[in-house]
Structures are given as C-alpha cells and as structure tokens.
Amino acid sequence: MEGATKNLEAEVPENNFDKYLAEVKANWNRQLGKIEVKGNNQNDQVNFYTALYHSMIAPTIYSDVDGAYYGPDKKIHQTDGWVNYSTFSLWDTFRAAHPLFTYTEPERVNDMVKSFMAFHEQNGRLPVWNFYGSETDMMIGYHAVPVIVDAYLKGIGDFDAEKALAACVATANIDGYRDIGAYKNTAIYLIT
C-alpha cells in the first residue's frame, strides 16, 4: 500500500484530469509515431497502428516508482537503475513483438532482459509465462532465451551477458522441467 501511495504521488501529483489526458495523448502519438506507414489505404493504416498499439500493452511495468517489487520468491526486491517488467507471454511474443521492441524500445528491452535475470535469480530458472511476478507455466519451452540472444546480438543494453548465458544454460538443464531429463536420456540412448 505504501508503494501504491508513492506511485500515485509520483505519477499523478495534481488533481488535473485534462492535463493527464493531454499527456497521455501526446505520449501515445509519440509511441505510435516511431513507425511511419505510407500508403493510400486508410484501412491498412488503421490495422497497422492498431496492431502496433496492441504490441505496447504488455509487458507491463512491475516495479514501483522507487524500484521495489514483489518477486516470484514472495519477497520484496529492489531494482537498481532499471525498471522491472512482468506479463511476458513469451511463447506468443518472442517471434515478432520482442524483435520489434529491439527497434522501437531498446531501452525497455535492456530492462526486460534484466527482469528475466532477476526472475532467474529469484525463481531458479528463466520465465516461461511470467504474470505479475509469478510463473504460470502455461506454455512449453523457455522463450526468454531468444529474447536475450536477440538483444545481445544487436548490442542492446548493459546486462551481464555471461550471467545471461549461464541462466540460459542452467534453465535448459533442469531435468525436472517438462521431463527434459527423460528427453536428454532418450537422446543419448538413440545416439549411442
């Protein structure tokens, strides 16, 4: 509750609806203006900008203005100069939305990777379908890896690449996760 109060005081210090409405409109115009579509078909433009808007709904900021957030380990954690994100439907977004973010939101991509790393430290593996700081395990695989690798290959961010690689490898080697151990044993048996 204290964090919510701090957020409200920082984000909406004045009781001025019209001011905030104008700020939100200006921000959405700035965000949607990052990509300019040319053409004569109004419907295509509406469809494109609607899809671009939808790509910006998630992931969501999951840390308070002071950097505090509730981790998957059920403890309060603190960011240090980065924003923690959640609501990662990675199975659905790693192919297109996250590569788009590397061009339109590279600073957020850096924070998203740092969010993955914090999640790994607090949960013992990279996120699969992180929702409000908890793992839902609703999808197969661990699609945080291509998001991390894409950011690294594009030179985005200041996250610790060695720690990120270690987290990717460690997550891939959790034998109990989705019976990966049985799969590895079967693969070794078939090879030999």
- Judged against a pLDDT cut of 90, whether residue 185 lies above it is answered with no
> 189: pLDDT confidence band, cut at 50, 70 and 90?
low
**Whole-prediction pTM value?**
0.90
User: Is the preceding omega at residue 146 within 30 degrees of 0, hence cis?
Assistant: no
Output the furthest CA–CA distance in the chain (Å, rounded): 71
Start-to-end Cα distance in the chain: 58
- CATH of 58-191, picked from 3.30.750.24, 1.20.1050.60, 3.40.50.300, 1.10.10.10, is 1.20.1050.60
The tens digit of pLDDT for each residue in 52-71 reads 999 999 999 999 999 999 99
Q: Where are the domains of the chain?
A: 1-57, 58-191
- Judged against a pLDDT cut of 70, whether residue 192 lies above it is answered with no
Torsion of CA 162, 160, 79, 133, to 10 degrees: -50
